[in-house]
Amino acid sequence: MKTKKITFEQQAERFLAEGTSRKRGPLRPSSARRYRAVIDNLNLLIGKLPLQNVGNKVVSEVVTKLSEQGYSPASIALNIVIIKKIRKSAVNDEGEQLFPITWNTQMIDAPEVTSQKQPTIDAVGVQDAISKADATGKALYALLAGSGLRIAEALAIKVGPDDGISTMLVPAESKIIIRQQLGRTGFGPTKTKAGQREVDLAPELIDYVLKNVWNRLWTDSSGPKSAELIFQNSEGFYRNCLEADGIEGGFHAFRRFRITHLRMSGVPQPLIDYWDGHAASTMSERYTQVAGEIESRKQHAAKAGLGFKLPEAV
Gap between the Cα atoms of 268 and 270, Å rounded: 6
Considering the domain boundaries, does residue 102 fall inside one?
A: yes
Question: 294 and 183, same structural domain?
Answer: yes
Question: 139 and 86, same structural domain?
Answer: no
Give the percent of the chain with pLDDT over 90: 61
Residue type at position 195: G
Considering the domain boundaries, does residue 313 fall inside one?
A: no
Provide the pLDDT confidence category of residue 282 given band limits of 50, 70 and 90.
Answer: low
Predicted pLDDT at 31: 82
Answer whether 199's CB lies under 8 Å from 149's CB. yes
Where among 78, 108, 138 does a domain terminate? 108
Question: 291 and 163, same structural domain?
Answer: yes
Predicted pLDDT at 218: 64
Question: 152 and 211, same structural domain?
Answer: yes
* Closest to 171 measured CA to CA, from 143, 194, 191: 143
Region 227-255: what's the mean pLDDT?
87
Where among 108, 136, 167 does a domain terminate? 108
Q: Specify which residues 157 forms β-bridges with.
A: 167
Region 79-89: what's the mean pLDDT?
95
* Domain enclosing residue 8, as ranges: 3-108
Average pLDDT of every residue of the chain: 88
Predicted pLDDT at 280: 64
Predicted pLDDT at 82: 95
Considering the domain boundaries, does residue 179 fall inside one?
A: yes
- Domain containing 225 — which CATH number? 1.10.443.10
Q: Model pTM greater than 0.75? A: no
HEC states along the chain? CCHHHCEHHHHHHHHHHHHHHCCCCCCCHHHHHHHHHHHHHHHHHHCCCEHHHCCHHHHHHHHHHHHHCCCCHHHHHHHHHHHHHHHHHCECCCCCECCCCCCCHHHHCCCCCCCCCCCCCCHHHHHHHHHHCCHHHHHHHHHHHHHCCCHHHHCCEEECCCCCCCEEEEHHHCEEEECCEEECCEEECCCCHHHCEEEECCHHHHHHHHHHHHHHHCCCCCCCCCCEECCCCCHHHHHHHHHHCCCCCCCHHHHHHHHHHHHHCCCCHHHHHHHHCCCCCCHHHHCCCCCCCHHHHHHHHHHHCCCCCCCCCC
Question: 81 and 150, same structural domain?
Answer: no
Considering the domain boundaries, does residue 234 fall inside one?
A: yes
**Residue 217 predicted with pLDDT over 80:** no
**Residue 236 predicted with pLDDT over 80:** yes
**Residue 219 predicted with pLDDT over 70:** no
Considering the domain boundaries, does residue 28 fall inside one?
A: yes
**Residue 1 predicted with pLDDT over 50:** no
Question: 9 and 156, same structural domain?
Answer: no
Provide the pLDDT confidence category of residue 294 given band limits of 50, 70 and 90.
Answer: confident
Rg (CA), the chain: 23
Identify the burial level of 138 via C-beta atoms within 10 angstroms of its C-beta, where 0-12 means exposed, 13-18 middle and 19 or more buried.
Answer: buried
Count of domains for the chain:
2
Question: 64 and 102, same structural domain?
Answer: yes
Residue 235 vs residue 30, higher pLDDT: 235
Question: 269 and 166, same structural domain?
Answer: yes
pLDDT, tens digit, for every residue of 131-177?
A: 989 999 999 999 999 999 999 999 999 998 999 999 999 999 999 99
Question: 286 and 179, same structural domain?
Answer: yes
pLDDT, tens digit, for every residue of 248-281?
A: 778 999 999 999 999 999 999 999 999 999 876 5
Residue type at position 189: P
Where among 108, 135, 159 does a domain terminate? 108
Predicted pLDDT at 183: 83
- Domain containing 102 — which CATH number? 1.10.150.130
Predicted pLDDT at 10: 96
Question: 68 and 195, same structural domain?
Answer: no
Question: 130 and 104, same structural domain?
Answer: no
**Residue 233 predicted with pLDDT over 80:** yes
For the ranges 229-238, 240-249, 268-277, which has the lowest average pLDDT? 240-249
Considering the domain boundaries, does residue 262 fall inside one?
A: yes
Question: 300 and 197, same structural domain?
Answer: yes
**Residue 287 predicted with pLDDT over 50:** no
Answer whether 195's CB lies under 8 Å from 153's CB. yes
Considering the domain boundaries, does residue 239 fall inside one?
A: yes
Considering the domain boundaries, does residue 113 fall inside one?
A: no
Most confident by average pLDDT, 25-29, 37-41, 245-249: 37-41
Provide the pLDDT confidence category of residue 117 given band limits of 50, 70 and 90.
Answer: low
pLDDT, tens digit, for every residue of 167-190?
A: 999 999 999 999 999 987 889 888
